[in-house]
Structure 1
């Protein structure tokens, strides 16, 4: 478990990253601008920082420079942006950023970058050599299937009903099974079912799946 600071002026991005990282067992602090990031940096001493480049008060690269100049860049920093150029990425890495993630950030890219950042492993590919869109980090290794599986539960479905209702009943049972099997971890269920995390959340809410119950059972 690590203390991770997420700095991004977009509420949706902050919430999504926080949910994913919290699900992985990390403690997460959120900041929406450079001022809050400075305060959190001093207060919580993060093990890793996810830092957006484009922010309203001070941009991420300037904040990175500030930390480097004042001796505060003693934790790995992963830069994030959906509009940065290669020159910006190169500059950030030169200043001391551990890695660069291009938005929209996929689950696999985020978790791999965080894993490498906490291990202080540099990116294997140089941002100078390829465009940003080719900086996809390797997907996570498949979940170990050798662990003891969750007990199988026989499911019965009433087929004498409209197709939509029957399909929803099956999908609800399917997701509840995998939530129990994965101990309530949304991250692992997303990987297992092949859905993006945000899509998975919407699907579970639509089907009325009780996430708290799945975690208790798991």
Structure 2
């Protein structure tokens, strides 16, 4: 059975560094508190080389930051778009991008909430328990404007919901209590420098 799904379809093998990332450039990751992260993003209306280049940059930026998903506003671009390279709870790798994503509502009987650790590249160093459904279905488009549907379970479902939150102008801290949010920001203050050092080391190793 294939252990990788690309754009929702199984493949026999796939490189560790995605082809898009090989064409990309690293961009600065925005951090919680910056306006672009806290307002809804605009729909993508133009499909072409500029969009493809943005997707490539996002894949490389996500890889350098050791992330599982990255939304366009996390690199300062207020468009409804995210990329992902994320395992599910069975260890199956899921790779792809979604343009203009919409998270489908699930019936109460079709989901259960998992209260597990969640982090964010824009909240560097913090990990907090946050409730998410154990299943997610996202509808959107690919970079050529073709419709797609991506389904995920477990950790990958968390990733899909997390990234769709981003394009709607929300960060996962918005799901926490005031005390939990304060704790998360304290973690950022303590760990941010170490996180950025690891990112710089990964970027240097990649370019050497």
Short-chain TM bin:
under 0.3
The structure where helix makes up a greater share of residues is 1
| Structure index of larger Rg | 1
Highest relative contact order (Cα 8 Å, sep 6+), 1 or 2? 2
Q: TM-score, normalised by structure 1?
A: 0.23
The structure where strand makes up a greater share of residues is 2
Q: TM-score, normalised by structure 2?
A: 0.23
